[in-house]
């Protein structure tokens, strides 16, 4: 997927003015935030489960190499082929090699954020392989030629009416507006795809070291069809998705859907282990698992390592007041919200996502709702620090901060400067006691008045009081 | 009990009445209050902007200024959080000060937290009559657990009606430099806050952080609301909210 994170500011402004998007975001917020809150209260031992989940993920990240090697060994023993991809080019190349080796012309896909990272669909199209997205949201986006705007609800930015128009145009059928009818129509279009595809591509919510299994959760059942009907199944996932045991996976599964959509569990949980056995009636003849690094291992041993605990539930974005107001496209890459503000600069380069770590008020709600306790504000702050160290912030900002901190370290200078400043601002505030334009802070005064200061600083008044 | 009052730079510059209200509340409760005159800024703007070096310098300065106090109290959850939660992280690699930083951290309190949990005050000196709604400022709420304390104090004031707003714990959009850097997003967040405040019908909105108050007040006025008063919890508790509003 093309990285457009550098346009965050412009795209955020556009999002704020997009009435349809604002309506959709409002609906999403009430749906996911309220449902999660209710789902969490259903778990009397939520705190313990969250602690356990955090421990599991932390243990994995601390011993990533050994769990991955165990996974490879177990998966291989059950007939799967495990591939290691350093970057997205390598991952794409491996998929194409597999497709060519098996004479694949048509591919069905179940949602996978890693393949979004890889822009795999475009790559496959460029070598003449036809790809059909089968997750309803992803399918709609494929028809609309748009990227996802959320990792769990990829099409959350579109209204039912827009989708009805899109279906009518692309399916060339009568326009339907009932959701059940629209779903039926999509199902009718997709079903022949499943039956005629030579290859199914899926992501993985977890991969399990003790059994070499790939675990996926879906609500639509398309994941099951994608991974069992075609003769070749390729699962592509980030290296951090490994969990030690099935038991551990079940612990995480108690939190993943609850955190994501407020569901106690998704409609389908598929544990895909090995290739089709001799006496088995379904499952792929060939099972390839691609483990993608793409910058993940670079985070190991750094301040950003906790980000690798992420189980991609999307709770951080659902609860982020910034995301709630601008939606996912503004973030300019695969992962939006607070998660994206850490992942995007980490994976595509800090210099290519300069605004993202700053696009947070540090309200801290993302860390409160994260089921594996990733300290997202701390990680964003660390990236801001990296920007300062690498001189990536605008010079005006750097100078302003330097001046402030220098003055704050010299109380006599500070007293003099602030005394002058508050008098001036008080004067400018006039009778109304508010400033409608503040030079140098137009970002503030464009939408707000600046309440004028009282005119004397606390330190002045306090000194005067003491000398009475 | 020797209590160091750190008024914060925003209060020093913008609304000294909050500092005096905090001072009165502490003195009224029998504390010996010291206000180190060289105090300036806790370093949070630098810290949250990634300028750790200047944040460290200011942290060390503050550490020296308050070393003789039994407690350090701030009328700000955000700055209290900076000292309590972030100083230990910021100075973790500096063994020469680590012990004193941890000591400072454990003795630092947001004002209402201190009044309720350390001083356990029963009688509120101020008088206020009218309807209020309380906005939970992010850092105080999530870093320090300040939620029940201000409400408990308001409940002890006869004549105060507290009407909770929808999403009282959702960020108002201030976020320090965020409000300037991303003014449009911040304004939209403030808009939602203003609408939630209006819905309560309360005549005043109260919070524990001046940053949020300036943001909310600024947006309320720009939207044409000149009536709703915007008060710091210290002002209300000390009785300065009576006629202390900058807006009549």
Condensed to tens digits (0 to 9), the pLDDT of residues B196-239 reads 999 999 999 999 999 999 999 999 999 999 999 999 999 999 99
pLDDT at A468 over 90: no
Asked whether the beta carbons of A449 and B220 are under 8 A apart, the reply is: no
Q: What pLDDT, on the 0 to 100 scale, is given for residue A30?
A: 83
**Got the DSSP string for A38-50?**
HHHHT-TTHHHHH
CB contact under 8 A, B13 and A451: no
Please identify among residues 3-32 of chain B the ones whose CB lies closer than 8 Å to any CB of chain A: 7, 9, 11-17, 19-20
Distance CA B229, CA A323 (A): 29
Q: Summarize the confidence of residues A80-96 as an average pLDDT.
A: 98
Distance CA B242, CA B238 (A): 9
Q: What pLDDT, on the 0 to 100 scale, is given for residue A343?
A: 98
Task: Record the tokens describing residue A60, joined without a space.
Answer: 């994995």
**In terms of Cα–Cα distance, which of A151, A153, A154 is closest to A142?**
A154
Please identify among residues 98-127 of chain B the ones whose CB lies closer than 8 Å to any CB of chain A: none
Reported as a pLDDT band with limits 50, 70 and 90, residue A137 is very high
Asked whether the beta carbons of A426 and B192 are under 8 A apart, the reply is: no
Compute the mean pLDDT over every residue in chain A, rounded to the nearest whole number. Answer: 96
Task: Please give, rounded to a whole number of angstroms, the shortest distance from the CA of B69 to a CA of chain A.
Answer: 19
Q: Summarize the confidence of residues A394-407 as an average pLDDT.
A: 91
**End-to-end Cα separation, chain A, in angstroms:** 68
pLDDT at A133 over 60: yes
- The number of CA neighbours under 13 Å toward the Cβ of A284 is 30
Q: Summarize the confidence of residues A137-156 as an average pLDDT.
A: 96
pLDDT at A36 over 90: yes
Q: Summarize the confidence of residues A64-79 as an average pLDDT.
A: 98
Selecting from A418, A441, A444 the residue whose C-beta is nearest the C-beta of B13 gives A418
Q: Which residue from A minimizes the CA distance to B36? A: A459
Q: Summarize the confidence of residues A225-251 as an average pLDDT.
A: 97
DSSP bridge partners of A73 = none
Selecting from B14, B51, B181 the residue whose C-beta is nearest the C-beta of A358 gives B181
CB contact under 8 A, A385 and B179: no
Q: What pLDDT, on the 0 to 100 scale, is given for residue B241?
A: 76
Selecting from A363, A421, A434 the residue whose C-beta is nearest the C-beta of B138 gives A363
Does the CA dihedral B38-A395-A2-A89 come out positive or negative? Answer: negative
Asked whether the beta carbons of A5 and A332 are under 8 A apart, the reply is: yes
Asked if B92 has any chain A CB less than 8 Å from its own CB, the reply is no
Cβ contacts of residue A286 below 8 Å, gap of 6+?
A81, A98, A102, A231, A232, A233, A275
| Proportion of chain B above pLDDT 90, given as a percent | 96
Q: What pLDDT, on the 0 to 100 scale, is given for residue B244?
A: 38
Q: What pLDDT, on the 0 to 100 scale, is given for residue B240?
A: 82
Task: Record the tokens describing residue B214, joined without a space.
Answer: 């300036």
Q: What pLDDT, on the 0 to 100 scale, is given for residue B121?
A: 96
Q: Summarize the confidence of residues B130-137 as an average pLDDT.
A: 97
CB contact under 8 A, B183 and A383: no
Angle between helices A337-348 and A376-389 in degrees, nearest 10: 40
Reported as a pLDDT band with limits 50, 70 and 90, residue A440 is confident
Asked if B36 has any chain A CB less than 8 Å from its own CB, the reply is no
Residue indicated by tokens 């209710």: A38
pLDDT at B13 over 90: yes
Residues of chain B positioned with their CB less than 8 A from the CB of A459: 12, 37
Q: Which of B23, B188, B226 to mutate to test the interface with A (most CBs of A within 10 A)?
A: B188
Distance CA B74, CA B144 (A): 12
pLDDT at A438 over 90: no
Task: Please give, rounded to a whole number of angstroms, the shortest distance from the CA of A295 to a CA of chain B.
Answer: 23
How far is residue B159 from each of residues A422, B130, B156, B202, measured CA to CA in Å?
35, 6, 9, 13
Q: Summarize the confidence of residues A58-63 as an average pLDDT.
A: 98
**In terms of Cα–Cα distance, which of A277, A250, A278 is closest to A264?**
A250
- What's chain B look like in SS3? CEEEECCCHHHHHHCHHHHHHHHHHHHHCCCEEECCCCCCCCCHHHHHCCCHHHHHHHHHHHHHHCCCCCEEEECCHHHHHHHHHHHHHHCCCCHHHHHHHHHHHHHEEEHHHHHHHHCCCCCCCCCCCEEEEECCCHHHHHHHCCCHHHHHHHHCCCCEEECCCCCCCCCCCCCCCHHHHCHHHHHHHHHHHHHHHHHHCCCEEEECCHHHHHHHHHHHHHCCCCCCEEEEHHHHHHCCCCCCCCCC
Distance CA A133, CA A108 (A): 6
Selecting from B51, B185, B215 the residue whose C-beta is nearest the C-beta of A322 gives B185
- Outline where DSSP puts E strands in A88-231: 106-109, 130-133, 199-202, 206-208, 213-218
Reported as a pLDDT band with limits 50, 70 and 90, residue B11 is very high
Q: What pLDDT, on the 0 to 100 scale, is given for residue B242?
A: 64
- Of the listed ranges A24-38, A241-255, A304-318, B135-149, the least confidently predicted one is A24-38
Selecting from A378, A381, A444 the residue whose C-beta is nearest the C-beta of B180 gives A444
- Outline where DSSP puts E strands in A14-141: 80-85, 106-109, 130-133
CB contact under 8 A, A442 and B185: no
pLDDT at A257 over 90: yes
- The number of CA neighbours under 13 Å toward the Cβ of A312 is 22
Selecting from B37, B183, B247 the residue whose C-beta is nearest the C-beta of A459 gives B37
Condensed to tens digits (0 to 9), the pLDDT of residues B70-127 reads 999 999 999 999 999 999 999 999 999 999 999 999 999 999 999 999 999 999 999 9
pLDDT at B247 over 90: no
Compute the mean pLDDT over every residue in chain B, rounded to the nearest whole number. Answer: 95
Q: What pLDDT, on the 0 to 100 scale, is given for residue A467?
A: 82
Q: What pLDDT, on the 0 to 100 scale, is given for residue B248?
A: 32
Reported as a pLDDT band with limits 50, 70 and 90, residue A132 is very high
Angle between helices B210-222 and B183-200 in degrees, nearest 10: 80
Q: What pLDDT, on the 0 to 100 scale, is given for residue A398?
A: 87
A/B interface, count of CB pairs below 8 Å: 199
Q: Which residue from B minimizes the CA distance to A33? A: B167
Please identify among residues 44-73 of chain B the ones whose CB lies closer than 8 Å to any CB of chain A: 45-52, 54-55, 57-58, 61
Task: Record the tokens describing residue A136, joined without a space.
Answer: 């309803």
């Amino acid at each position: 997927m093309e990285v457009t994170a550098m346009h965050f500011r412009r795209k955020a402004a556009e999002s704020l003015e997009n009435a349809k998007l604002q309506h959709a975001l409002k609906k999403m917020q009430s749906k996911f935030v309220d449902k999660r809150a209710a789902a969490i209260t259903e778990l009397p031992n939520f705190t313990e489960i969250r602690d356990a989940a955090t421990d599991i993920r932390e243990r994995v990240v601390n011993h990533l190499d050994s769990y991955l090697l165990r996974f490879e060994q177990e998966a291989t023993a059950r007939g799967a082929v495990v591939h290691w991809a350093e970057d997205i080019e390598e991952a794409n190349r491996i998929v194409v090699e597999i497709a060519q080796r098996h004479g694949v012309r048509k591919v069905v896909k179940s949602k996978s954020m890693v393949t979004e990272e890889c822009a795999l669909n475009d790559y496959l199209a460029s070598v003449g392989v036809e790809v059909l997205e089968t997750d309803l949201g992803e399918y709609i986006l494929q028809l609309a030629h748009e990227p996802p705007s959320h990792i769990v609800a990829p099409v959350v930015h579109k209204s039912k009416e827009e989708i009805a128009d899109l279906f009518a145009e692309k399916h060339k059928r009568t326009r339907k507006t009932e959701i059940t009818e629209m779903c039926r129509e999509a199902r009718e279009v997709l079903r022949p795809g499943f039956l005629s595809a030579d290859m199914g591509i899926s992501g993985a919510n977890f991969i399990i070291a003790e059994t070499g299994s790939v675990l996926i959760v879906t609500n639509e059942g398309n994941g099951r069809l994608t991974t069992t009907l075609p003769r070749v199944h390729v699962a592509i996932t980030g290296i951090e998705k490994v969990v030690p045991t099935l038991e551990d996976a079940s612990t995480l599964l108690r939190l993943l859907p609850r955190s994501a959509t407020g569901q106690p569990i998704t409609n389908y949980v598929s544990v895909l282990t090995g290739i089709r056995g001799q006496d088995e009636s379904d499952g792929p003849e060939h099972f390839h698992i691609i483990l993608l690094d793409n910058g993940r291992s670079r985070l190991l041993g750094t301040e950003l390592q906790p980000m690798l605990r992420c189980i991609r539930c999307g709770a951080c974005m659902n609860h982020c007041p910034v995301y709630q107001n601008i939606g996912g496209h503004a973030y300019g890459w695969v992962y939006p919200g607070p998660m994206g503000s850490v992942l995007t600069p980490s994976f595509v380069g800090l210099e290519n996502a300069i605004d993202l770590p700053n696009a947070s008020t540090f309200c801290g709600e993302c860390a409160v709702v994260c089921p594996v306790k990733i300290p997202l504000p701390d990680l964003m702050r660390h990236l801001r620090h990296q920007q300062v160290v690498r001189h990536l912030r605008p010079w005006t900002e750097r100078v302003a901060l330097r001046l402030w901190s220098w003055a704050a370290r010299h109380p006599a200078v500070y007293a003099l400067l602030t005394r002058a400043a508050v008098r001036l601002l008080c004067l400018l505030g006039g009778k109304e006691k508010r400033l409608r334009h503040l030079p140098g802070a137009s970002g503030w005064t464009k939408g707000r008045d600046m309440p004028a200061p009282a005119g004397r600083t606390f330190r002045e008044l306090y000194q005067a009081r003491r000398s009475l | 009990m020797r209590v160091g009052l750190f008024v914060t730079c925003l209060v020093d510059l913008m609304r000294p009445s909050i500092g005096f209200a905090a001072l009165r509340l502490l003195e009224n409760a029998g504390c010996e209050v010291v206000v180190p005159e060289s105090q300036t800024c806790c370093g949070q703007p630098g810290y949250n902007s990634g300028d750790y070096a200047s944040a460290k310098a200011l942290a060390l300065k503050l550490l020296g200024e308050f070393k003789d106090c039994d407690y350090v109290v701030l009328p700000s959850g955000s700055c209290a959080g900076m000292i309590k939660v972030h100083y230990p992280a910021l100075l973790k690699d500096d063994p020469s000060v680590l012990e004193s930083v941890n000591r400072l951290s454990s003795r630092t309190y947001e004002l209402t937290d201190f009044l309720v949990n350390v001083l356990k005050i029963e009688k509120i000196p101020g008088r206020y009559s009218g309807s209020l709604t309380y906005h939970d400022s992010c850092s105080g709420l999530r870093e320090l657990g300040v939620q029940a304390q201000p409400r408990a104090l308001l409940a002890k004031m006869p004549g105060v009606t507290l009407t909770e707003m929808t999403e009282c714990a959702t960020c108002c959009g201030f976020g320090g430099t965020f409000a300037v850097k991303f003014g449009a997003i911040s304004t939209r967040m403030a808009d939602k806050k203003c609408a939630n405040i209006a819905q309560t019908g309360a005549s005043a909105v109260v919070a524990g952080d001046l940053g949020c108050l300036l943001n909310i007040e600024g947006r309320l006025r720009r939207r044409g609301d000149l009536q709703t008063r915007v008060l710091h919890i210290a002002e209300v508790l000390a009785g300065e909210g009576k006629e202390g509003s900058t807006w009549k």
